Amino acid sequence: EWRRYSEPIYIDKLRFHPKHFIIPFHYKKYIESVLLPHGLIRDRIEKLAQEIHDVFQNNELHLLCLLKGSRAFFSLLLFYLNKMNIYSQVKCSKPPYMEHYVRVKSYINDTPNSDGKLSIISEDLDCLKGKDILIVEDIIDTGNTLEKFCAWLEKLNPRRVLIASLLEKRTPKTNGIKANFAGFSVPDEFLIGFSLDYNEVFRDLDHICIMNTQALSDFAV
């Protein structure tokens, strides 16, 4: 039975002017507004880690990072989870959190597109048979990527598959897939920063932001 363990924070109309935050020099002319400052993102991820730890305790859990966009979320989440395990002083003989990296991309004619075929590049994941898996995703937009990826994962016969997503977009194009652990519910806008890219640019920006039309044209491919 499906359960929402972490309800997302509902982000609506509040935007911050970029002048109030440190923006790398190379992005100064491209940021329209800041939607989620880095500190807020960190605090939210720490809470998600606590809620994930509550559900799985110190049992073996396989975390699956969907690259590249989830890199920043995954790495902080794992950092906090490992701290919680260490602080809990439980005597276990094996590390509770195992990490796996999967590159997923949707394509139509070489153009990333949610309706296209999903290309999956990964290490051998046969070890996931009978295991608890947590998919760690940056953002759920239409949900098509996760739907296809979950179908692919089911063939490996895991015991249980749950989803953690930092962001969930409120879009009419959704297929209904939601995360069991969700960080923020965000408006239907194209977001960049904290590993989210626009044509591989902006991944190194700490805050999650909305870019301006100058960026749209300067970084178009």
Interacting residue with ligand 5GP among 41, 62, 63, 69 (CB under 6 A):
69
Taking the C-alpha atoms of 81, 86, 91 and 92 in order, what is their torsion angle to the nearest 10 degrees? Answer: 40
Of 124 and 176, which has the nearer Cβ to ligand 5GP? 176
Counting contacts by CB under 6 A, is residue 143 touching ligand 5GP?
yes
Asked whether the bond before 105 is cis by omega within 30 degrees of 0, the reply is no
Instruction: In angstroms, give the least distance from the CB of 56 to ligand 5GP.
Output: 23
- The yes or no reply on residue 18 touching ligand 5GP (CB under 6 A) is no
Q: Which is nearer to ligand 5GP, 56 or 148 (CB)?
A: 148
CA proximity to 54, closest of 80, 34, 76, 29: 80
Considering the complex, what minimum distance in angstroms separates the CB of residue 143 from ligand 5GP? 5
When the beta carbons of 6 and 142 are compared against ligand 5GP, the nearer one is: 142
Residues within window 78-137 making contact with ligand 5GP, judged by CB under 6 A: 114, 137
Q: CB count, 10 Å around CB of 200?
A: 9
Minimum separation from the CB atom of position 180 to ligand 5GP (A): 16
- Are 84 and 48 in contact, with CB atoms under 8 Å apart? no
Q: For tokens 């989830």, what's the residue?
A: 70
Which residues have C-beta within 8 Å of that of residue 52, sequence separation ≥ 6? Answer: 5, 61, 77, 81, 134, 164, 181
- Look up 43 and say whether it is catalytic: no
Q: Contact residues for ligand 5GP (CB under 6 A)?
A: 69, 114, 137-145, 190-192, 196-198
Catalytic residue annotation = 141
